[in-house]
Amino acid sequence: MAGLTRAPFRPGRSLVLAGAGLYFLLPLAASMVFTVDVPGEGVTFDAYGQILGAEGFTSSLLLSLELAAATIAVVLLLMVPAMVGLRLSAPRLRPVVEIVCSLPLVVPPIALVAGVSSVLRWGPEHLASTPLYQTFVAVQNPSFPVVLVLTYVVMALPFVYRALDAGLRAVDVRTLVEAARSCGADWPRALVRVVLPNLRGALLSASFLTLALVLGEFTVAQVLGFQPFAVWIVTVSGSQAQLSVAVSVLSLLVTWALLLVLAAVGGRRPISRTDSRK
């Protein structure tokens, strides 16, 4: 069409994108070659075929997924009402909350887990004669370590805050809540039925970032003595290097696929009644 103009070609942008693509794709390609090229046997996919039958793979993956689900639930239940209430009732406190939620980016994971370990050692020593002793034992249950969930919630705060803050900036929360309240809805119903559907993209982004954090976190789980998925990969790499790299490549590809699904679902606009009549 005559009214449309083609965007000018910018070689600098193309070079940056090409360099970024090579930076990410070359290590991935080298890892894939390492998993399928066996000296003396040629190309084989045995490393990928051994993943499901590897000892500890299923249990560690299920543990990481359970920890991720619990972390996502806790951090969203904590942050969504707080962010909505902050935007409606106390906007001047936003810089304070932003600083508090950004602190986990400043504190290294090894320093954070050192503090958690000190608390876990202090508890049984000083609270052995109180009912709280059983609480310290329960949160360190290897089948489902609650202490990891609590630590991951703290580590996920910066990412969840940014995702929710961007989503809340894109919608007029005050108008939505006032409209719902004028129709007779109480605060919980207004939050669930009106605000949350308009934050679908932000909630998905926060959930995906938290999932990626939990699946890839190694330091905290290793120091505390638990074996979720990331720790299992490092443990098995000492005896089965090809298998560990194959699992890493496969998990990376699955993460990219989930990211593409998230982008597609988050960018899809709900169809209203007015749109359906057109």
pLDDT at 49 over 50: yes
Tell me what the pLDDT averaged over the chain comes to.
82
Question: Which residue intervals of the chain are DSSP H helices?
Answer: 11-36, 46-49, 57-89, 94-106, 109-126, 132-138, 146-169, 173-182, 187-190, 196-198, 200-216, 219-224, 229-237, 241-266, 273-277
Q: What's the rounded mean pLDDT across residues 253-276?
A: 61
Structure tokens at 23: 């930076």
> Above 80 in pLDDT, residue 102?
yes
Q: How far apart are CA 57 and CA 141, in angstroms?
A: 19
pLDDT, tens digit, 9 for 90 and up, residues 207-232: 988 988 998 889 999 999 899 988 88
Backbone angles phi, psi at 161, to 5 degrees: -60, -45
Q: What is the mean pLDDT of residues 134-138?
A: 80
Across 19-23, 94-98, 196-200, 271-275, least confident range: 271-275
Q: With bands split at pLDDT 50, 70 and 90, how would you rate the model's confidence at 249?
A: confident
| CATH fold label, 57-265 | MetI-like fold (1.10.3720)
More confident residue, 90 or 2: 90
The ranges assigned to domains in the chain are 57-265
Instruction: Say which residue, 249 or 226, is predicted with more confidence.
Output: 226
Q: Kindly calculate the radius of gyration of the chain based on its CA atoms and give it in whole angstroms.
A: 24
- What pLDDT does residue 200 have? 85
Rounded percentage of the chain residues whose pLDDT exceeds 70? 90
Residue 275 pLDDT: 44
Q: What Cα–Cα distance (Å) separates residue 13 from each residue in 20, 22, 24, 72, 133?
A: 11, 14, 17, 36, 59
State pTM to two decimals: 0.81
Tell me what the mean pLDDT of segment 97-102 comes to: 91
Span 155-174, average pLDDT: 89
Left (φ > 0), alpha (ψ -120 to 50) or beta: where does 40 sit?
left
Residue 277: pLDDT band (50, 70, 90) is very low
Q: Where residue 8 falls among pLDDT bands split at 50, 70, 90?
A: low
User: Quick one: average pLDDT of 121-132?
Assistant: 74
Check pLDDT > 50 for residue 273: no
Among 91, 53, 73, CA closest to 156: 73
pLDDT over 90 (residue 71): yes
pLDDT on residue 6: 60
CA distances from 107 to 104, 114, 247 (A): 5, 11, 29
Top pLDDT among 99 and 10 is at 99
